[in-house]
Amino acid sequence: MRSFTLSFLRNCKYKSFLHRPPQRLFSDTVQQQLQLNTHAGPLVELLGEWPAREEELGRAVLRDMRVLPDFISEPEEAQLMAELEPYLKKMRYEFDHWDDAIHGFRETERSAWSPANKAVLQRVLEAAFPPPAEPLPHQHVLDLAPTGHIKPHVDAVRFCGATIAGLSLLSPAVMTLRHSARPLDVAALLPRRSLYIMTGVARYEFTHAVEGGAARAWRGAAVRRARRVAVITRSQPRPEDRQGGDEGGTGASGEGAGETKDRLDRITIYTVISCRICVRFDSWAELS
């Protein structure tokens, strides 16, 4: 019987089906695909054709953009949401962000957590902010509606430093990164309950964005993002950046020099509220 079975499998006309990559077997169940992809290889990859001369940059961005799958458990995700939901549900989703960088969102900051959630966030600090890194004392909580999206931006260096780390709750997403000066793209799959850590080249030289709905795919599998809550921790700004005039990352250095005082005052107000500035690169021209 055993020899018959082996012979059948060798000659079966469905042999190609049996040897398909695992992520294609569950085409109707996105979460199952993502769970399989989590163990199928790196969750960050270069997109398109990168010239040979950019090999060093490619290695650097893959080093500096990390995704740690299954960083928290389902019960830990539930306890984080149990603490956040009473506050978030009192807020309405906004679709008219002041700089047009983000649509369909609500946000808050939080520095006081329950003991259980504080222990979870301590693991984030240990993973993403080894000494001498100094994290800001609060977390930025960003609740993105299913149709919401974040346009390409670089977090302002005056108000957050070299490391950005985010827990992804409730839904997977695909984050896209693009070099601020050259057409070089990177994609990162952010599975539900994962932690992404963005530093160095990925933090300063690439914009990052999260598209809404079913706009993205990962290795041929559709990633239909639902409501997604990110709990983001950032490091303290570098001393040389705290009083600087650069409102974007190093890729936009100097291009904001022509901003007026009123514009800067408005930026400061918004930054006090959310401790971040999302600067769209295609809007710099009107400021110069």
The chain-wide mean pLDDT, for the chain, equals: 75
Residue 17 domain flag: no
Helix ranges (H only) for 39-141 are 55-64, 74-88, 115-128
Instruction: Report the distance separating Cα 199 and Cα 195, nearest Å.
Output: 13
Q: Characterize the bridge pairing of strands 206-210 and 139-155.
A: antiparallel
Between residues 252 and 71, which one has the greater pLDDT?
A: 71
* C-beta of residue 206 within 8 angstroms of C-beta of residue 179: yes
Return the SS3 of 129.
Answer: coil
Residue 176 domain flag: yes
Residue 8 domain flag: no
pLDDT band at 20 (very low <50, low <70, confident <90, very high): very low
Specify the pLDDT at position 85. Answer: 97
Interval 179-233: pLDDT, tens: 999 999 999 999 999 999 999 999 999 999 998 765 578 888 888 889 999 999 9
Residue 156 domain flag: yes
Instruction: Report the distance separating Cα 240 and Cα 206, nearest Å.
Output: 20
Residue 135 domain flag: yes
Instruction: Report the distance separating Cα 174 and Cα 189, nearest Å.
Output: 5
- DSSP label of 138: S
Interval 81-134: pLDDT, tens: 999 999 999 999 998 765 567 889 999 999 999 999 999 999 999 999 998 889
Check pLDDT > 60 for residue 169. yes
Lowest pLDDT segment from 8-17, 84-93, 264-273: 264-273
Residue 245 domain flag: yes
Specify the pLDDT at position 158. Answer: 86
pLDDT band at 12 (very low <50, low <70, confident <90, very high): very low
- Among 22, 73, 70, 68, smallest CA distance to 43 is for 68
Check pLDDT > 80 for residue 165. yes
Specify the pLDDT at position 31. Answer: 39
C-alpha 91: how far from its chain's center? Answer: 23
Instruction: Report the distance separating Cα 36 and Cα 115, nearest Å.
Output: 33
Check pLDDT > 50 for residue 265. no
What torsion do the CA atoms of 208, 171, 126, 64 make, to the nearest 10 degrees? Answer: -30
Domain assignment of residue 157, given as a range? 27-287
Return the SS3 of 64.
Answer: helix
Instruction: Report the distance separating Cα 202 and Cα 120, nearest Å.
Output: 25
pLDDT band at 8 (very low <50, low <70, confident <90, very high): very low
What torsion do the CA atoms of 37, 38, 41, 43 make, to the nearest 10 degrees? Answer: 100
Mean pLDDT of the 45-60 span: 93
pLDDT band at 41 (very low <50, low <70, confident <90, very high): low
Q: Is the dihedral of CA 43, 48, 49, 55 positive or negative?
A: negative
* C-beta of residue 173 within 8 angstroms of C-beta of residue 143: no
Residue 20 domain flag: no
Residue 18 domain flag: no
Domain tally, the chain: 1
Interval 272-286: pLDDT, tens: 333 333 333 333 333
**What CATH number is associated with residue 176?**
2.60.120.590
Check pLDDT > 90 for residue 267. no
Mean pLDDT of the 153-172 span: 92
| CB-facing half-sphere around the CA of 12: CA atoms within 13 A | 13
